Amino acid sequence: MKKTVLFIIYALLTLPIMAQKKSFTIDDLIPGGSTYYQHSVPENKNLAWWGDECIELDTDECRLINKQSGKTTTLITLQQLNTILTDAGHKPCHHFYYTTFPYAEKPLILIENGNEQTLVNWQEGKTEWHITLDAQASNADWSKESRAMAYTINHNLFVQTADGTTHTVSSDGNIDLTYGESVHRDEFGISKGTYWNPNGTLLAFYKMDQSMVTKYPQINLETPGKCATTIPDPYPMAGNTSHKVYVGIFNPATGQTVYLNTGDPTDRYFTNIAWSPDGKKLYLIELNRDQNHGSLDEYDAATGEKLRTLFTESNDKYFEPHAPIQFLPWDDTKFIYQTRKDGYNHLYLYDTDGNCLKQLTDGTFEIIKVLGFNKIKKTILYTSNEQDPLQQNIFKVDMKGKRTLLGHATGWHNATLSESGSYFYDNYSAPDIARRIDIVPTGSSKPAALSYFTAPNPWDAFQVPEIKTGTLKAADGVTDLYYRLILPTNFDPTQQYPAIVYVYGGPHAHNIDASRNWGARGWDIWMAQQGYIMFCLDNRGSEHRGLAFEQATFRQLGVEEMKDQLCGVDYLKSLPYVDSTRLGVHGWSFGGFMTTSLMTTYPEVFKVGVAGGPVIDWRFYEVMYGERYMDTPQSNPEGYRSTSLLNKAKNLKGRLLVIHGGNDPVCVPQHTLSFMRACIDADTYPDLFIYPGDGHNMTGTDRIHLHHVITRYFEDHLK
């Protein structure tokens, strides 16, 4: 009896507590937080393709997935794998996460385990191939055809062939002369420096001479108790002497390298390297320094001689190729070329004589990425936002130009094709879907897509603020812009709240999409919980809305973008629950530039701003990105002058905290330091914080610290 009473009391006490949802901590919401993975990242499954078979990679085993039923059967356990590895004298593995199955027809699993890579035949229980890379090696690039491995050590390039021979491709590499590394500061879609031909017999690679480039002095405080030193970092600033890039082709069979005979590479960009299917010709898109003219050029891989220019493309403002040509797997004489020449990024079918055979896709939407081909059905698989400008869906298009949506019709999709392209697995989210993984056939609607995994929403236990989206008109009066509005947790429409605009605003990025929670950032949720209205608007200049939308900002970065943001502010001010006297703004990188621009161009609008890693003057930004949008300081002095925040420092009225990574190699600390100097000289009063040793973004626990600093600034001055 007594126990029962106690139980009832206990139940009465705990029930409402259990029903009440929790508040977030900052660690729950920001990457680097101790509880971030637990409370903000939806559970995931690692999948991989073995030919057209889908495999789930888990900690202790690989499982073959039945694509109809979703049932799994064990392929190999970690214990079995490690027995094979250790028997062969290699390190044991801790999980299967970085595992691939390179050969559709063979029971071979490629294990990447630190600096060791091993190809294991799990049916025969033996290793087929193995390499132990030097501890300093990076940029490892393996050809599954020849089983040759390219890698770099200290800016030099090496190739180890399947027979174990190591070729020293270069030996004079250093910070000023790099081999096998990415070039042109990762612009034009370049993200690596080595390119095996299809059969793995020739390796194209980038060489970059930056001895003539100004060195930015990065300060190194890393040795405890010792005097600071500098690390000179080659950084070509807009209008200044740039680096020179060469393309070499190494032949492991002969040990010889030929360089493409391009002539003097000064002020030329060699981008979008692609091999012909027979591995004998190399294609690249060359671009002039002005970035308004390009040509698709074909080179002979054996001699390095240029064979021909297939075609050229120009643009009044800028031409920016970012996808290499892709040959049709079923026809070596035809390839896909992506261009925005009709105003949106679309797919065009070309023949190897440079004739455009057909525009395969068209419309006022953008092809975001070509995923590959269904080699059997002869279709191209790609992602696009045709369904909705906020979505990214999977489509196929056949050679007649017929487009078909594949898989789930809403949200933001990321697909990985199987070997033949007959299937993809799609790891996606939507505003109300935390994560789902579907396995989808691409040939026809049968067999039906398999819904393999649905993750619980990690925020189910938390009080999540209301997140809305909508459109408003840009400053041009015609263009629709998308915004996201997050209401304070426990919103009361009769109250007035301070509002913070989060802004990026630059090209090649967007903030609002139809992914989980409409793409809301963890810090947005955190600030909503602190009682702020959070607003974000993707202004003209941002991505996936077509060329005119992006190029509206040409030669005057920030100007049109700010006008659009002010339209967002007008909308905010129209809301009865927004306190127009307490508006804040925060952004990082281009968003730091926007924040500082807004604070100094519209000083009466924003009371408080926090700008992170900002561009302050485009003269201090690098050649490739900077000159694309701004031309050079010599050819566009007025554009550089009028957008320079050094000239606007005098206008600062509100409270502005500028934060910079002390060793930011992207947007060098000179930006923020020069702005401080300009404000001091102009008798204005920004605040400052520096993260010594950090780069363009703070990661790990520094990111938590950063968001405490940002939050505190708004709490100090906007609340």
Residues of span 623-662 touching its own copies by CB under 8 A: 633, 662
Question: Look-up: residue for tokens 């003269």?
Answer: 619
The answer to whether 244 and 208 have CB atoms below 8 angstroms apart is yes
In the complex, least distance from residue 93 CB atom to its own copies, rounded to whole angstroms: 32
In the complex, least distance from residue 699 CB atom to its own copies, rounded to whole angstroms: 12
Return the beta strands (E) in 16-71 as ranges.
46-50, 53-57, 61-65
- The identity of residue 209, as a single letter, is D
C-alpha span between 120 and 437 (Å, rounded)? 28
Q: CA gyration radius for the chain?
A: 27
C-alpha span between 182 and 141 (Å, rounded)? 13
Residues of span 207-266 touching its own copies by CB under 8 A: 214-217, 219, 221, 225-230, 235, 237, 240
In the complex, least distance from residue 624 CB atom to its own copies, rounded to whole angstroms: 16
In the complex, least distance from residue 654 CB atom to its own copies, rounded to whole angstroms: 13
> Phi, psi (5° rounding) for residue 300?
-85, 120
In the complex, least distance from residue 677 CB atom to its own copies, rounded to whole angstroms: 4
Q: Which of 22, 94, 308, 677 binds its own copies (CB under 8 A)?
A: 677
- Residue 617 in the binding site for its own copies (CB under 8 A): yes
In the complex, least distance from residue 306 CB atom to its own copies, rounded to whole angstroms: 34
3-class DSSP assignment, residue 153: strand
C-alpha span between 98 and 154 (Å, rounded)? 25
- Residue 712 in the binding site for its own copies (CB under 8 A): yes
C-alpha span between 29 and 450 (Å, rounded)? 31
C-alpha span between 361 and 405 (Å, rounded)? 13
The answer to whether 99 and 106 have CB atoms below 8 angstroms apart is no
Pairing state between β 608-612 and 578-588: parallel
Catalytic residues: 589, 664, 696
Stretch that binds its own copies, among 124-132, 169-177, 580-588, 670-678 (CB under 8 A): 670-678
Q: Which residues contact 362 (CB under 8 A, 6 or more apart)?
A: 342, 344, 346
Q: Which of 545, 619, 628, 707 binds its own copies (CB under 8 A)?
A: 619
Q: Which of 674, 710, 714, 718 binds its own copies (CB under 8 A)?
A: 674
Give the residue with the Cβ less far from its own copies, 128 or 687.
687
- Residue 688 in the binding site for its own copies (CB under 8 A): yes
In the complex, least distance from residue 682 CB atom to its own copies, rounded to whole angstroms: 10
Give the residue with the Cβ less far from its own copies, 28 or 141.
28
Number of residues that bind its own copies (CB under 8 A): 45
Binding mask 564-603 for its own copies (x = CB under 8 A): ----------------------------------------
The answer to whether 324 and 283 have CB atoms below 8 angstroms apart is yes
- Residue 665 in the binding site for its own copies (CB under 8 A): no
Q: Which of 120, 345, 670, 707 binds its own copies (CB under 8 A)?
A: 670
Give the residue with the Cβ less far from its own copies, 164 or 224.
224
Helix%, strand%, coil% for the chain, nearest 5: 20, 35, 45
* Number of Cβ within a 10 Å radius of residue 238: 24
Binding mask 691-710 for its own copies (x = CB under 8 A): xxx-------xx-xx--xx-
C-alpha span between 646 and 666 (Å, rounded)? 19
Give the residue with the Cβ less far from its own copies, 237 or 536.
237
* Of the candidates 141, 144, 150, the residue with the CA atom closest to the CA atom of residue 252: 150
Binding site for its own copies (CB under 8 A): 214-217, 219, 221, 225-230, 235, 237, 240, 617, 619-620, 633, 662, 668, 670, 673-674, 676-677, 680-681, 683, 685, 687-693, 701-702, 704-705, 708-709, 712, 716
